[in-house]
Amino acid sequence: MRVFLALEVPGEIKEYLGVVKDRLAARIRGVKWVNEEAQHITLKFFGEQEEKMVREIGDALSGIERQYDPVAAALRGIEAFPDRKRARVIVMALEKGVDNIRMIFHDIEDRLSGLGIEKEKRSFRPHITLGRMRTPGPLLDRDIVAVDMKDFTVSRMVLFQSTLRPAGAIYTSIREFEFNKTI
């Protein structure tokens, strides 16, 4: 099964991102936009994994939710990966909470390395994917829309199964980790 680990974004932020996405879609062509329900902050993509490995991943992460408080975050603005000159992915960058999310990410990397899961070589930049360009190209300043720096709280990490469909991926929760630091 195809799996990944992500931080769940609150519904009101997903609704707002839907409005932002619609405003961007009116300006930018050739983008496959992400449905609001599918918006999250990806921490680790595992790709295809056997069911046994998925259980081991969940077990390795067990207890991580007691190590962290919910994360106070805020939206910053529209960016692109790898950069605006060669945009492949249009994302919402985060302003607040980035350091805490990175700390969680590195903890996850350390916990999973014992399973033989390779650590990410690229620098981790927490973001919410809004759309993927069908053909990479520049993301021009005139195409960017203003964004309210909305505050929100991330309180749950989810191990998802991703089932690919022509209309878009369907995400099914396999295991959830609700942050509630008790130390």
Q: Give 107-142 pLDDT, tens digit per residue.
A: 999 999 999 999 999 899 999 999 999 999 999 999
Q: Is there a cis peptide before residue 166, judged by omega within 30 degrees of 0?
A: no
Whether the predicted pLDDT of 104 surpasses 70: yes
Whether the predicted pLDDT of 37 surpasses 90: no
Distances (CA, A) of 19 to 30, 114, 175: 18, 42, 29
Q: Say how far apart CA 99 and CA 101 lie, in whole Å.
A: 5
pLDDT band at 154 (very low <50, low <70, confident <90, very high): very high
Q: Give 163-175 pLDDT, tens digit per residue.
A: 988 877 889 999 9
Contacts of 99 (CB under 8 A, 6+ apart): none
Q: Give 81-98 pLDDT, tens digit per residue.
A: 999 999 999 999 999 999
- Percent above pLDDT 70 for the chain: 99
Q: Give 65-74 pLDDT, tens digit per residue.
A: 999 999 999 9
C-alpha triplet 83, 88, 92: angle, nearest 5°: 70
pLDDT band at 181 (very low <50, low <70, confident <90, very high): confident
CATH of span 2-178: 3.90.1140.10
- DSSP of 28-91: --SEEEPPGGG-EEEEEEEEE--HHHHHHHHHHHTTGGGG-PPEEEEEEEEEEES-STTEEEEE
Instruction: Name which of 179, 45, 175, 182 is nearest 100 in CA terms.
Output: 179
**Residue 168, pLDDT score:** 76
pLDDT band at 182 (very low <50, low <70, confident <90, very high): low
